Amino acid sequence: MKDDEQQNLFKDVRVIIFILAILGSIVFIQPWYSSEEGFTTNLNYGLDLEGGSWLQLKLQGAVAQLDGDIGLLVKEIVNINIAENIEILSVDEGTDDITVTFTSDSLLTNNQMDQLGVGQTTIFRNNNVTEVILHTSKETLISTYLVDSLKAEVLPTLISNGVEYEIRTAVSQEELEELMGAVGGSILTDSSGEVLYKEGVTAETTEMTKEILSDKLNSLGLKDIPVKTVGDEYILIDFAGIDLATAKNIAEKPGKFEIRIITQGNESEHALYGDKIESVSIVGYQEDDGQWYVPFTLTDAGAIALQKVAMETGATKDPLSHNLVMYLDENEVYSAPLSYSAASRLENAPIYSWQASTGPDEDSKTKAEELQIHLRAGALPVNVELMGSGHVDATLGQQFKLQAVIAGLLALFAVAFVVYRKYNKPSILVPMVGTSISEVIMILGFAAAIGWQLDLASIAGIIAAIGTGIDHLVIITDEVLYEGKLPPRKVYLSRITKAFGIIFAAAATTIIAMSPMVIMGFGTLKGFAITTIVGVLIGIIIARPVYGKVIHEILAAKVAVDAE
User: Rg of the chain over CA atoms, in angstroms?
Assistant: 33
On whether both 425 and 491 belong to a single domain, the answer is yes
Query: Which one-letter DSSP state was computed for residue 452?
Result: P
Quick check: 400 and 392 in contact, CB under 8 A? no
User: What is the spatial distance between Cα 137 and Cα 96, in angstroms, rounded to a whole number?
Assistant: 8
The pLDDT tens digits of the residues spanning 235-292 come to 877 776 676 777 776 666 656 778 889 887 778 888 888 778 888 888 888 877 788 9
Q: What is the pLDDT of residue 479?
A: 76
What CATH number does the domain containing 529 carry?
A: 1.20.1640.10
Q: What is the pLDDT of residue 422?
A: 78
On whether both 89 and 43 belong to a single domain, the answer is no
pLDDT at residue 348 tops 90:
no
Q: Which of 152, 171, 199 is the last residue of a domain?
A: 199
Which 3 state secondary structure label does DSSP give 160? coil
The pLDDT tens digits of the residues spanning 58-85 come to 888 899 999 999 999 989 888 888 867 7
User: What is the spatial distance between Cα 181 and Cα 171, in angstroms, rounded to a whole number?
Assistant: 15
Name the band, by pLDDT with cuts 50, 70 and 90, for residue 550.
confident
User: What is the spatial distance between Cα 494 and Cα 474, in angstroms, rounded to a whole number?
Assistant: 17
On whether both 409 and 343 belong to a single domain, the answer is no
On whether both 266 and 414 belong to a single domain, the answer is no
Quick check: 295 and 357 in contact, CB under 8 A? no
From 327-341, 481-495, 550-564, the region with the lowest mean pLDDT: 550-564
From 102-111, 180-189, 235-244, 431-440, the region with the lowest mean pLDDT: 235-244
Name the band, by pLDDT with cuts 50, 70 and 90, for residue 165.
very high
252 domain residue, yes or no: no
User: What is the spatial distance between Cα 114 and Cα 81, in angstroms, rounded to a whole number?
Assistant: 12
On whether both 354 and 402 belong to a single domain, the answer is no
**Residue in 453, 467, 474, 472 with CA at minimum distance from that of residue 407:** 467
Q: Angle at CA 303, nearest 5°, toward 254 and 333?
A: 45
On whether both 287 and 311 belong to a single domain, the answer is yes
Residues 167-175, mean pLDDT to the nearest whole number: 90
What's the predicted TM-score (pTM) here? 0.59
**Tally of structural domains, the chain:** 3
Extended beta strands in 371-491, E state: 384-392, 453-454
Q: What is the extent of the structural domain holding 269? A: 257-362
On whether both 265 and 305 belong to a single domain, the answer is yes
250 domain residue, yes or no: no
Name the band, by pLDDT with cuts 50, 70 and 90, for residue 24.
very high
Between the ranges 305-314, 423-432, 490-499, where is the mean pLDDT highest? 305-314
User: What is the spatial distance between Cα 296 and Cα 372, in angstroms, rounded to a whole number?
Assistant: 9
Residues 483-509, mean pLDDT to the nearest whole number: 80
Q: What is the pLDDT of residue 112?
A: 79
Name the band, by pLDDT with cuts 50, 70 and 90, for residue 218.
low
Name the band, by pLDDT with cuts 50, 70 and 90, for residue 1.
very low
277 domain residue, yes or no: yes
Q: What is the pLDDT of residue 488?
A: 74
pLDDT at residue 307 tops 60:
yes
> Where is 56: in which H helix or E strand?
strand 52-59
Q: Which of 184, 199, 214 is the last residue of a domain?
A: 199
Beta strands across the sheet bearing 98-104: 87-93, 98-104, 129-136, 120-126
Q: What is the pLDDT of residue 205?
A: 85
On whether both 39 and 158 belong to a single domain, the answer is no
Task: Return the number of other C-beta atoms located less than 10 Å from residue 477's C-beta.
Answer: 21
Q: What is the pLDDT of residue 142?
A: 93
208 domain residue, yes or no: no
Beta strands across the sheet bearing 154-159: 154-159, 162-167, 62-64, 197-199
Q: What is the pLDDT of residue 501?
A: 87
247 domain residue, yes or no: no
State phi, psi for 538 to the nearest 5 degrees.
-60, -40
Residues 198-223, mean pLDDT to the nearest whole number: 74
225 domain residue, yes or no: no
On whether both 160 and 264 belong to a single domain, the answer is no
pLDDT at residue 394 tops 50:
yes
pLDDT at residue 222 tops 50:
no
Q: Which residues pair with 59 in a beta bridge?
A: 384
On whether both 110 and 77 belong to a single domain, the answer is yes
Q: What is the pLDDT of residue 219?
A: 54
On whether both 401 and 460 belong to a single domain, the answer is yes
β pairing state of 52-59 and 234-240:
antiparallel
235 domain residue, yes or no: no
On whether both 262 and 334 belong to a single domain, the answer is yes
Q: What is the pLDDT of residue 224?
A: 60
